[in-house]
Amino acid sequence: MTLKTVGKSIIRVDAYSKVTGKALYPQDIYLDDMLYAKTLRSKVPHANIKIDTREAERQEGVVRIFTHKDVPLNEHGVVLKDHNVFAADKVRQIGAPIAFVVGESEEACINGMNKIKVEYEELPGVFDPLEAMKEGSPKVHGQSNIIYHYKLRCGDIEEGFKNCVAIAENTYTTHMQDHAFLQPEAGISYMEEDGTLVVAVATQYPHYDREEIARTLKLEEEKVKVINTNVGGAFGAREDITIQIHLALAALTLNRPVKVVFGREESFQAHSKRHPMVMKYKTGADKDGYLQAMEAEIVGDSGAYCSWAMNVLRKAGVHATGPYHIPNVKVDSYAVYTNNPFTGAMRGFGATQIPNAAEQQMDILAEKLGISPFEIRQKNIFKTGSKTATGQVLLESVPLDRCLEELVKRYDEFLKLKNVVDETIEEGVL
């Protein structure tokens, strides 16, 4: 196939506006008669709360304070509707939004926010997902903290391990990661003359935002318009709702433009994180270096809300084998609520955590078998026609062997640099 445009490194169409600073991000937008807003957030991880906004409302420059009472349907979420637009009687994580203070200036909003009285009746929290799975643990939502359990069963692992001469058994953990995009959350909302409610934000999925705004505020979707400004990085953290409904509610109620801009610390508190995982692995290979069996138990900490937990732990479970043919596989992955900051989508979506375990297992097995890290991988990788542990046939475009070959070609060069005499390294010459 001869292609004319696909395959060419044309200059990206948004390059010029971005490198010259002309590209508009939501915090760059100013409208006449615009109000500002600040979000009051929970300071404790688990508590019953009572809110008193009366004094705050009397502060000069404060126009309105929105709480759960103002939201027609106080729930949202990408899978389960377990997020509140504003916490009503309970907070489940630090940073959960409680009130949205709208005022004539940012100072007025801060002043108002400081005068809101929140009475916290603290509850025992749970911060370790393994603890959270136990029966007697504090519960974050409902009767159980276990949101999801994915089971993968292929072959017979007991039989498989019998054929193994090398077995690696280890537990690995990964931590929470922030997306740390450069542009913290910001947005602006306003009413158009025909009654259309407009929310301009930097988002990954404007149609989803529109749907949630319309659903929670009980509006027709056609009466809501989401404008996606330039997006200063996302990486998964702009999938859940953060400011969208707050802004929409304020503009709709006050019929004036409303703007909110987060600082970095608030951004850390407002959006999701990468799921920390506990990954218990047992992997075995036969005397010829072929993988025969793998068993894994993976527990992901979803924090206070579900967000994408099911999909993330499902993806972790499906990818638990790594890109290897293993005839006997048993995987159990779990998503669990805790009172930690909620976790959700982040680049790699559960498949990023897994190889930190699975790939170290491969090297451990290689060492036990006395073969090289390349050899154990070349023997076991997926090729065209391979079947994954879920029974899926990889019919085409499986060039992992070619990826590995490229590295094999460069290995000697790497080895040469590795084996540079120690003295030279110590002197810091290289």
Spell 269-292 as b/e; 16+ CB within 10 A means b: bbbbbbbbbbbbbbbbbbeebbbb
Residue number, 61 or 394, with CB nearest to another protein: 394
Hunting for tokens 């025969």 — which residue is that? 292
Segment contacting another protein by CB under 8 A, of 6-14, 58-66, 110-118, 285-293: 6-14
269 binds another protein (CB under 8 A): yes
Segment contacting another protein by CB under 8 A, of 55-63, 64-72, 111-119, 347-355: 347-355
Q: Is the dihedral of CA 420, 422, 428, 429 positive or negative?
A: negative
CB of 374 to another protein, least distance (A): 7
Residue number, 61 or 373, with CB nearest to another protein: 373
Site for another protein in 18-37 (CB under 8 A): none
Segment contacting another protein by CB under 8 A, of 61-69, 103-111, 218-226, 251-259: 218-226
Residue number, 272 or 292, with CB nearest to another protein: 272
Question: Site size for another protein, by CB under 8 A?
Answer: 120
Q: Out of 9, 19, 218, 429, which residue is the one contacting another protein (CB under 8 A)?
A: 9
364 binds another protein (CB under 8 A): yes
41 binds another protein (CB under 8 A): no
Residue number, 59 or 339, with CB nearest to another protein: 339
First-to-last CA distance in the chain? 46
CB of 349 to another protein, least distance (A): 6
Angle at 207 between CA 202 and CA 209, to 5 degrees: 60
Q: Out of 207, 255, 287, 385, which residue is the one contacting another protein (CB under 8 A)?
A: 207
Q: Is the dihedral of CA 366, 369, 371, 376 positive or negative?
A: negative
CB of 61 to another protein, least distance (A): 28
- Dist. CA 383–CA 371, nearest whole Å: 21
Is residue 336 within 8 Å of 129, Cβ to Cβ? yes
Residue number, 35 or 154, with CB nearest to another protein: 154
191 binds another protein (CB under 8 A): no
Judged by DSSP in three states, 17 sits in helix
Residue number, 45 or 257, with CB nearest to another protein: 45
Angle between helices 373-380 and 400-418 (to 10 degrees): 180
263 CB neighbour count, 10 Å cutoff: 9
Site for another protein in 68-127 (CB under 8 A): 93-94, 125, 127
CB of 297 to another protein, least distance (A): 14
Is residue 184 within 8 Å of 264, Cβ to Cβ? yes
Q: Is the dihedral of CA 49, 53, 55, 60 positive or negative?
A: positive
- Dist. CA 67–CA 85, nearest whole Å: 9
What string marks each residue from 150 to 189 as x (binds another protein by CB under 8 A) or -?
Answer: xxxxx---------------xxxxxxxxx-x---------
Segment contacting another protein by CB under 8 A, of 69-77, 106-114, 158-166, 334-342: 334-342
Residue number, 112 or 303, with CB nearest to another protein: 303
59 binds another protein (CB under 8 A): no
Residue spans of alpha helices (H) in 58-192: 106-114, 129-132, 157-162
Radius of gyration of the chain (CA): 26
Q: Out of 331, 335, 369, 371, which residue is the one contacting another protein (CB under 8 A)?
A: 331
Q: Out of 120, 161, 290, 382, which residue is the one contacting another protein (CB under 8 A)?
A: 382
50 CB neighbour count, 10 Å cutoff: 10
